[in-house]
Amino acid sequence: LSVPGLTETWTTSFTENLYHIEGYKSVLKSRDTSTYGGGVGLFVLESLPYLIREDLSPSDNCAEAVFIELTNDNVIVGCIYRPPGHDINLFTAYVDSLLTTINKEHKTAFIAGDFNIDFLKSDVHQPTADYTNCIFSHCFFPVINRPTRISETSATLIDNILTNAFRLQLSSAIVFLHTFLPMFSMC
């Protein structure tokens, strides 16, 4: 599979067409134009047939998500962004419903995202423990088990890839992209 996912794209409906990766089709979901930030996206190899799965996105504002189903492989791929500060309990209820639907369909799934819930705090923060227990109770497992954000004073594991494909050998990576805006001077 080759379906990179992006969170915090900062795209709008006016800028979505500016994002291209050669050989891939983009499936982007932007915030409405009244707010900035957020946004999620998937890039799908042009050779892979897929369907967009709008039914798997949250019905409330607990997160932003985009999902597709790779039709030849019966695999669901998604990307989720839960903005910091949004209610973890509402998000956990959404994830519970999402994973229930995927399991009822007997599909393999890969869900990447910036969940802004620190897996490393499962033993000291009850909402995090509830979220982690929800994932495990549906036989989904996090692929990343080391901190994804490290500073001089802290380390957190808030970005992850969740999957129920535990029989596959998986490897994960976090890619950092830096965008440099040209500097303009006015005379």
Average pLDDT by stretches of 10, the chain with 187 residues: 83 78 90 75 94 93 94 95 94 98 96 96 96 97 91 94 77 50 40
Residue 33's pLDDT is 59
5-7, strands of its sheet edge to edge? 5-7, 40-45, 24-29
The whole-angstrom separation of Cα 32 and Cα 8 is 13
Which helix or strand (DSSP H or E) is residue 23 part of? none
Please give the structure tokens belonging to residue 155. 């380390």
Neighbours of 165 (CB within 10 A): 15
Closest residue by Cα to residue 138 from 166, 157, 174, 160: 166
DSSP conformation class of 106: T
Contact assessment for residue 44 and residue 6, using Cβ atoms and an 8 Å cutoff: no
The helix/strand/coil state of 125 is coil
In sequence order, which residues have a C-beta less than 8 Å from that of residue 173 and are 6 or more positions away?
none
Residue 167's pLDDT is 66
Closest residue by Cα to residue 132 from 172, 160, 170: 160
End-to-end CA distance of the chain: 51
Q: How far is CA 142 from CA 18, 119, 145, 173, in A?
A: 32, 9, 7, 13
The whole-angstrom separation of Cα 85 and Cα 97 is 21
